[in-house]
Structure 1
């Protein structure tokens, strides 16, 4: 089997997906530890059986709807490649908006102390640390050891050593810090919602937020008030604006603003306390 044969095999096998050739190229590049340019300049190169079988195993995983990010242990966010495994939620492009808002907030309000609830793969805290020109002190919690491992790997990869990890529910670890800003991309899907098959590979605790879906969002708001945070920046479901608006009315705060994603859907909120 040549590289061209392998790509044709992948294209035929992954026909159910939107970009079968691109995904075949990504998986073959990963199997060979080569870039995609190498594939295009070596179409007629014959492959050793080991690499053929490895590539076919990747193709089979993808046919079974396993996300390509988990197969390759790589996900792109803000133009950087992060480590990702099944133990952490795959970052979505929409989360880049949260990073942008956080950076602007940090600059305008001289924010230095930040907490992240549910750090997952670490992409939010890491990118905020990389992109901000302030000396930040970040504490991040997660209940999942697998997610914390993902975050640790990425912290080491990007040398963002101003992030301290805590295995903790919400901010239960905190007895001494006062945070200017709390950020989170928590679970906010209601428990009985039927999701695409690919999402079955992602950690369910990072997806489902309760019988209604907004339960953890509300807990984070209450925790932020208890922690006397200045700001809370949080992602939410596209249909949860009214629920959050009504909930925050029962608590003292200065203002709440909602932001939209690139599709024009409500995607998150910023509360100033």
Structure 2
């Protein structure tokens, strides 16, 4: 049998992945072949007649087989782009999603409006560090703190901070508890949290690449899906400066229940839509109490 060209290999992989149920078979095939060859995707089009040698074909076939079984592309390549930055990912952390960029963009806007010395942000449940590292890289003069309960996640987050030169300060523990004694009450401009929000009863219905491969610790939000956020709000209210913002990502059908967690008069709250027009980000501003606001 003759060695396959890049074009032929892509066509076969695309067909295989489509039949296996991939929602993006062509993109998956291209990303995996570029990874197998140590090239970018542009190379695949420029050199579509290049014939794969035996080792290249074997590596590619293994990757496509694993993807066909449901393993996420990001775990197969070990990388995922977020906010224009390349992040290391692995089975101990949730794969960064494009919709979470809305949280980062809003946080950046809030930090830009803070006076120098007051640009303090906290990323709760940092996972891969995508939010924290993006803030540290893209918000000039910001102090960024990040927490996570998983030591394996923090190891990946620290690696991502190191490779991007992002001076994030990481702490291990539950929600905001590791920052007690580190940050004084009323000193933080932004608390951002993309915590688990899938109701426990819905975990079994998640797509197989999420259900079987991504960490349940980063997905299961308890019986109602918002249990961690319910616990987070009081601590965030203490840590935020008057006028500071709490940002939390939710599922679209959780809008009303999530807004109930941050009610007036202490909070001024709203829900922002994602690119598909679905409620995705709860923005809760802590009202002033007579002190200067941010």
Normalising by structure 2, we get a TM-score of 0.86
Q: Any idea what the Cα deviations from partners look like across 1:204-234, whole Å, max 9, x if unmatched?
A: 1111110011111111112212435532111
Match of 2:254 among 227, 240, 256: 240
Displacement of 1:72: 0.6
Q: 1:79 to 1:253 in 2, by over 3 A?
A: same
1:7 aligns with 2:10: yes
Pairing 1:1-273 to 2, within 5 Å after superposition = 1-2=3-4, 3-15=6-18, 16-110=21-115, 111-133=118-140, 135-161=141-167, 163-174=168-179, 175-178=181-184, 179-193=188-202, 194-200=205-211, 201-229=213-241, 230-249=244-263, 253-273=266-286
Q: Which runs of 5+ in 2 are unaligned?
A: 287-294
Number of matched pairs: 270
Q: Which runs of 4+ in 1 moved over 6 A?
A: none
Normalising by structure 1, we get a TM-score of 0.92
Displacement of 1:252: 5.3
Displacement of 1:142: 0.4
Q: CA RMSD in A?
A: 1.8
Displacement of 1:10: 1.0
Displacement of 1:244: 2.4
SS of the equivalent of 1:189 reads coil
> In terms of mean alpha carbon deviation, does 3-12 or 189-198 score higher?
3-12
* Distance (whole Å) between structure 1 residues aligned to residue 259 and residue 73 of structure 2: 37
Displacement of 1:187: 0.6
Q: Which runs of 5+ in 1 are unaligned?
A: none
* Distance (whole Å) between structure 2 residues aligned to residue 9 and residue 115 of structure 1: 46
